[in-house]
Amino acid sequence: MPEATDAARTVMMTVDDDPAVSRAVARDLRRRYGSDHRVVRAESGASALETLRELKLRGAPVAVILADYRMPQMNGIEFLEEALDLYPGARRVLLTAYADTDAAIDAINVVDLDHYLLKPWEPPEEKLYPVVDDLLESWRATDGLAVDTTKVVGHRWSARSSQIREFLARNQVPYRWYSSEEPEGMRLLAAAGLDPRHLPLVVPPDGTVLAEPEERDLAAHVGLSTTPAADFYDLVIVGGGPAGLGAAVYGASEGLRTVLVEREATGGQAGQSSRIENYLGFPDGVSGAQLTDRARRQATKFGAELLTACKVTGLEVNGAARTLRFADGSSISAQAVILAMGVSYRQLDVPGVAELTGRGVYYGSALTAAAACQGQEVFIVGGANSAGQAAMFLARRARKVTLLVRASELAASMSFYLLQRVEDSPTICVRTDTVVEAAHGREHLEGLTLRNRVTGHSEAVDAQWMYVFIGAEPLTDWLDGTLLRDPRGFVLTGPDLSADGRPPAGWVLDRSPYHLETSVPGVFAAGDVRAESAKRVASAVGEGAMAVMLAHRYLEQS
């Protein structure tokens, strides 16, 4: 039987069917964390689940769960999968022998494993405590915060409701969802005095009633920063994807007064990825949300200021200052600017899709809607890595996932490791040479018309869920007339600014532009928004760091 616990303290749980190992893990955890946490141990998955249910009823927080892989009746992966339903925010660690490493890696895609530890873990000061320290810090920064939960009332097939949920989820704002058709949702609407036609309703912790709120107003009420603390900075970064966050970390750590402004949510497209497996330093993979959370906390630790729901509409050169104009009429200035806006998902331009977006048709992973796909068929349009990662993620819950690929094969657009996993998945079906001709439905997506590009044959299929990954395009129209871009809208930098190697027209300095510098001195571009960039997470982070180094050089010479 598991040991008794005190519901008033944060719990760390260890589960192992070997009593000696169970006691050893608990002993090492108590030695380091016993003064602040209650360490609970169990010797079977069943008894551990019983304890977790009791803790849930008492309202006790559970921060970390460590489970042995090889347990009879219920192994560690099966136990963690069930524990996920009780405590989705708890950080999950699998204890495993070296021979079971493959099973631990596979568990990443089953239970969103945070880490696995090889036995033995001695000395714990080197192999156990650093891992648990990092997991506890991550838990405290998100699930461990003692805050009231924001309430959202909406309709399952409301596009605006979907947008609000995605905004909150991507900014890691805790919220609880209520359908407008369930009793509690109706009660909240009545209490707010709102008609169900004015959805979504958002009630933040301060009790303010927000009907169909705009992101900027919503952000201000749920604790996100939307207004800069100063009028002038050393460095302004536009965009909070991997390149922008990388620049914020390096800019702030180098002592520059740094502010990052983001239109929607930090992380960019990478932040919506269910699993990034080829990023240096994460051999077991990392979700986009986890990577974003760590980068955001790292940037703020160094003193960077992060602003959300700030739409930049213009860039001006005012002497030595570079001024950014916002949609609300305000502005901010700096000595140097790094453009790291990334790219936006390309829209699927076929009949019916625009009207049904957010109501069964989604761009990107749309993780808030993924839970509703349980036991149903899901269609994914696209054949690159983002589509493959989404397919692997959705295949955990959906009855069937069908990849609709325009090309004749996947090998040209999808990484080899991911292609193998897609092909090995029993619930993923790949249809090549296939395009979507139309989407059908009234209140929500009900069907698709698909066409084979080779035979020309069209067919109608029933569908309620479609996720679109057909490439991306930069949102740089607001830079028109200010700096040079290529025909597709990507920002030109350094040697790409002119064919003959000469400085671009209007260049006023007696040197050539630096490698990541645009046609405006002191304005740099990094990551996916830059023409000829590698379009990878690692390269975007590297370019963000490099842009800071070049900005430093520019500031020293100004």
Taking 3-state DSSP, the helix, strand and coil percentages for the chain, each rounded to the nearest 5, stand at: 35, 25, 40
Q: From first to last of its 558 residues, what are the pLDDT tens digits of the chain? A: 344 344 358 999 999 998 888 899 999 999 999 999 999 999 999 999 999 988 886 778 999 999 998 888 888 888 988 888 788 889 998 888 765 666 656 655 555 778 888 888 889 998 899 999 999 998 988 766 544 578 999 998 889 999 999 899 889 888 889 999 988 888 888 888 888 888 999 998 888 899 999 999 999 999 999 999 999 999 999 999 999 999 999 999 999 999 999 999 999 888 888 778 888 888 878 888 889 999 999 999 999 999 999 999 999 999 999 999 999 999 999 999 999 999 998 999 999 999 999 999 999 876 666 677 889 999 999 999 989 999 998 998 899 999 999 999 999 899 999 999 999 999 999 999 999 999 999 999 999 999 999 999 999 999 999 999 998 899 999 999 999 999 999 999 999 998 777 888 889 899 999 999 999 999 999 999 999 999 889 999 999 999 999 999 999 987
Say which CATH class 353-472 falls into: alpha beta
Closest Cα partner for 345 from 371, 384, 306?
384
CA distance 164 to 468: 19
Q: Is the CATH code 1.10.10.10 the one for domain 150-213?
A: no
Residue ranges matching CATH 3.40.50.2300 in the chain: 11-141
Per DSSP, what are the bridge partners of residue 201? 153, 211
Q: Which residue has tokens 């040991």?
A: 3
Domain 232-343+474-494+521-557: assigned CATH number: 3.50.50.60
* Cβ–Cβ under 8 Å, residues 47 and 37: no
Residue ranges matching CATH 3.50.50.60 in the chain: 232-343+474-494+521-557, 353-472
Residue ranges matching CATH 3.40.30.10 in the chain: 150-213
Q: Which residue has tokens 């192992």?
A: 16
Q: Is the CATH code 3.40.50.2300 the one for domain 11-141?
A: yes
Question: Edge-to-edge strands of the sheet including 210-211?
Answer: 175-179, 150-154, 201-203, 210-211
Q: What is the pTM of this model?
A: 0.76
User: What is the token pair recorded at 430?
Assistant: 């790949």
Q: What is the 3-state secondary structure (H, E, C) of 435-488?
A: EEEEEECCCCCCEEEEEECCCCCEEEEECCCEEECCCEECCCHHHCCCCCECCC
| Strand segments (E) across 88-239 | 91-96, 115-118, 150-154, 175-179, 201-203, 210-211, 232-238
